[in-house]
C-alpha cells in the first residue's frame, strides 16, 4: 500500500503534467491567433465579383473554370507583403488584422481599387503602330501592352488613327472580394539575422 508521501508525490506529478499541458495548449492557441500586420508575408485565396455578381477574378481553379476566366489552370493563391502597395489599397488594407484560416467579405470603392474612369486616358495612336505588329484593330478589341497590361480600342475615327482606352477595365467599378488568409509569416521571421562573427 502506497505511503502518504508517495500519494502526495503522485498527485503533484499529475498536477505538474496538467499545468505543462495547459501552458502548451495556451501557447498553441496564441500562435494560431497571430494576425496580419503591415510587413508580414501572407498568402491568400480570393474571389472578386462585380455588383451584378459576376466573377471577374479568382485564385481558385474550379471557380475560374466555372466563369470561363482566362487561363484558369494557372490560378493559384497569391502571396504578398501586407501594406507594401503591391495590390490595390482596399484589398491589402482588408487583410490587416485577419487571422490564418479566416475568411472576410469586403466591398471596395473605385477610389481604393482602380480609380474613377478617366476620359483623358483615351489616347490617339497611329494605326501604323498596330499594323506593324500584325494587328488589325476593331472597336472594343482588347489588346495587351508590352508591360502585360490590357487596353481597349475605343474608336477608329479614320484610317490613320486609333483611339486607345488606357483605363483599367475595372476603373470606376465597385469591387467585392471574398478573401481567405491561408498563411502568415510575420515580418520578424523573414529578416536575416546579422552576423556577430568578427571577420
What secondary structure does DSSP assign to 52-118, as a single string?
A: TS-EEEES-HHHHHHTT-SSGGG---EEEETTSSSS-HHHHHHHTT-BTT-EEEEEE-GGGTT-S--
pLDDT of residue 13: 46
pLDDT of residue 145: 81
* DSSP state at residue 178: E
Residue 109 has φ and ψ, to the nearest 5°, of -75, 160
Tell me the domains of the chain and their CATH numbers.
Answer: 41-115+171-187 (3.10.50.40), 119-165 (2.40.10.330)
CA 102, CA 118: separation in Å to the nearest integer? 36
CA 18, CA 13: separation in Å to the nearest integer? 9
| pLDDT at 27 > cutoff 70 | no
pLDDT of residue 29: 34
| pLDDT at 14 > cutoff 50 | no
pLDDT of residue 187: 81
Q: How confident is the model at residue 110 (pLDDT cuts 50, 70, 90)?
A: very high
- Please report which helix (H) or strand (E) contains residue 142, including its range: strand 142-144
Q: Is 177 exposed, middle or buried (0-12, 13-18, 19+ CB in 10 A)?
A: buried
| pLDDT at 61 > cutoff 70 | yes
C-alpha cell at 11: 498527485
Q: Is 22 exposed, middle or buried (0-12, 13-18, 19+ CB in 10 A)?
A: exposed
Q: Is 72 exposed, middle or buried (0-12, 13-18, 19+ CB in 10 A)?
A: middle
pTM assigned to the model? 0.71
C-alpha cell at 30: 496564441
Amino acid at each position: 500500500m502506497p505511503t502518504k508521501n508517495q500519494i502526495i508525490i503522485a498527485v503533484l506529478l499529475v498536477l505538474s503534467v496538467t499545468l505543462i499541458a495547459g501552458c502548451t495548449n495556451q501557447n498553441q492557441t496564441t500562435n494560431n491567433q497571430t494576425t496580419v500586420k503591415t510587413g508580414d508575408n501572407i498568402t491568400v485565396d480570393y474571389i472578386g465579383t462585380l455588383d451584378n455578381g459576376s466573377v471577374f477574378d479568382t485564385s481558385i481553379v474550379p471557380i475560374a473554370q466555372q466563369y470561363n476566366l482566362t487561363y484558369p489552370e494557372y490560378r493559384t493563391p497569391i502571396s504578398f507583403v501586407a501594406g507594401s502597395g503591391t495590390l490595390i489599397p482596399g484589398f491589402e488594407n482588408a487583410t490587416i488584422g485577419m487571422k490564418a484560416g479566416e475568411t472576410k467579405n469586403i466591398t471596395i470603392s473605385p477610389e481604393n481599387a482602380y480609380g474613377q474612369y478617366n476620359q483623358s486616358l483615351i489616347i490617339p495612336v497611329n494605326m501604323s503602330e498596330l499594323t506593324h505588329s500584325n494587328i488589325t484593330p476593331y472597336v472594343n478589341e482588347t489588346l495587351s501592352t508590352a508591360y502585360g497590361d490590357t487596353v481597349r480600342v475605343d474608336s477608329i475615327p479614320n484610317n490613320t488613327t486609333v483611339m486607345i482606352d488606357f483605363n483599367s477595365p475595372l476603373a470606376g467599378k465597385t469591387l467585392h472580394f471574398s478573401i481567405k488568409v491561408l498563411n502568415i509569416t510575420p515580418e520578424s521571421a523573414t529578416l536575416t539575422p546579422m552576423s556577430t562573427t568578427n571577420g
